[in-house]
Amino acid sequence: MRIFVAGATGVVGRLLIPKLVHANHEVTGMTRTAERKAIIEGLGAHAVTGDALDREGIRSLLEDIKPEVVIHQLTSLADRDFVQNTRIRVNGTRNLVDASLQSGVDRMIGQSVAWAYEAGAGPASEEVPLDIVAPAPRRSLLEGIVALEQAVSKVPQHVILRYGLFYGPGTWYAGDGFMAAQVRQQRVAATAGVTSFIHVEDAANAAFLALDWPTCTVNIVDDEPASGMDWLPVYAHALGAPLPVAQTEHEPWERGASNEKARRELGWQPMYPTWRTGLPTSVRSIDGGFGTPDS
Ligand SMILES: NC(=O)c1ccc[n+]([C@@H]2O[C@H](COP(=O)([O-])OP(=O)(O)OC[C@H]3O[C@@H](n4cnc5c(N)ncnc54)[C@H](OP(=O)(O)O)[C@@H]3O)[C@@H](O)[C@H]2O)c1
């Protein structure tokens, strides 16, 4: 199939493209800068420059490429710029979806998150409503996620992947990542708030498998939602960092998510079923990433 990957140079894109190429798909990846085209070409795909916020530019790109499938793995988180990230989710997604519809794309696979659910007891299934009444600063996450999911849903066949928190190479949780530095400096408190993790390899694999999944919205998380009291000491130990300080308060929406639908209805199985073993192993692998964000 002809597949267009938006977000080709990101943590998911770089793991996903070789899988698509290996399966003999004709893959084109997008980056904003000419220098980063070499990353995409090195993975075996065609590379184009484009900016998701440039509506006309994206329309013309997709008109030329005429992909059958668009995989949307756009975020803007390398610099932790959450305002820009919301802009990408709202405006970038709208541009990508409108261009896709105009150029006859059949299927879109989009990247969402598994921590936008309303507060409640236990891990959230996909039936739980999104937390649309959340106050700031969480409100801007919800604005981005709701807009993204609504836009992607306009493509006749679509799969919305609600990913857990990424760990593994190139992520904030890699040995050389942002969170590792925070934990080494004891800046992250252990709370009873629950998180669902996903190894970034599993995230990329789900995007690959979603080429054949029916239209759906699905949590892609590991088997073991975990409270900060559980995972943070394990992570700190793997990093050789001091034990985190405990804190009683946490946000009521920190409840984790369930992967039952992905397992039962789609037959998906994580290669890294629990952060308990995956997170320490990925930290110790030293290969914290794919290089610097500018590489
Ligand atoms: N679920 C999660 O936990 C989650 C999800 C996403 C990211 N993250 C974290 O965020 C950090 C950064 O993620 P990342 O490495 O994937 O980088 P990123 O900065 O979030 O960029 C991701 C992709 O989006 C592209 N992009 C961004 N803005 C664009 C625009 N206006 N037009 C076209 N393309 C655009 C980038 O391309 P170019 O820069 O090449 O133009 C890149 O391919 C990582 O540590 C990761 O773990 C976590």
What would the pLDDT profile of 16-57 be if each residue is shown by its tens digit? 999 999 999 999 999 999 999 999 999 999 999 999 999 999
What letter represents residue 24's amino acid? Answer: N
End-to-end C-alpha distance for the chain, whole angstroms: 29
Q: Is the CB of 32 under 6 A from ligand 1?
A: yes
Q: Looking at residue 292, what DSSP letter applies?
A: -
Q: Give the CATH number for residue 93.
A: 3.40.50.720
Residue 77 lies in a domain: yes
Residue 31 belongs to some domain of the structure: yes
Contacts of 99 (CB under 8 A, 6+ apart): 55, 58, 59, 61, 62, 63
253 within domain boundaries: no
The secondary structure of residue 116, as a DSSP letter, is -
Tokens of 190: 């252990």
Task: Tell whether ligand 1 has an atom less than 6 A from the beta carbon of residue 9.
Answer: yes
Q: Is residue 59 part of a domain?
A: yes
The total domain count for the chain is 1
**CA 249 to ligand 1 center in whole angstroms:** 30
The two beta strands, 194-195 and 226-227, are: antiparallel
Which of 49, 53, 70, 76, when mutated, tests ligand 1's pocket best, judged by the most ligand atoms within 8 Å of its CB? Answer: 76
Is the residue at 234 inside a domain? no
Which pLDDT value is given to residue 292?
Answer: 34
Distance CA 118, CA 208 (A): 29
Q: What's the half-sphere exposure (Cβ side, CA atoms, 13 Å) at 288?
A: 14
Residue 52 lies in a domain: yes
Asked if pLDDT for residue 226 goes beyond 80, the answer is yes
Whole-number pLDDT of residue 294:
31
Residue 6 alpha carbon, nearest atom of ligand 1: 34
- Give the SS3 label for residue 69: strand
Q: Name residue 163's beta-bridge partners.
A: 113, 220
Task: Tell me if 211 is assigned to some domain.
Answer: yes
In a domain, residue 37? The reply is yes
Is any ligand 1 atom within 6 A of the Cβ of residue 7? yes
Contacts of 251 (CB under 8 A, 6+ apart): 119, 138, 193
Name the closest-CA residue to atom 44, ligand 1. 171
Is the CB of 88 inside a 6 Å radius of any atom of ligand 1? yes
Q: What is the pLDDT of residue 286?
A: 54
Please give the residue range of the domain that contains residue 204: 2-165+198-221+258-270
Q: What is the pTM of this model?
A: 0.96
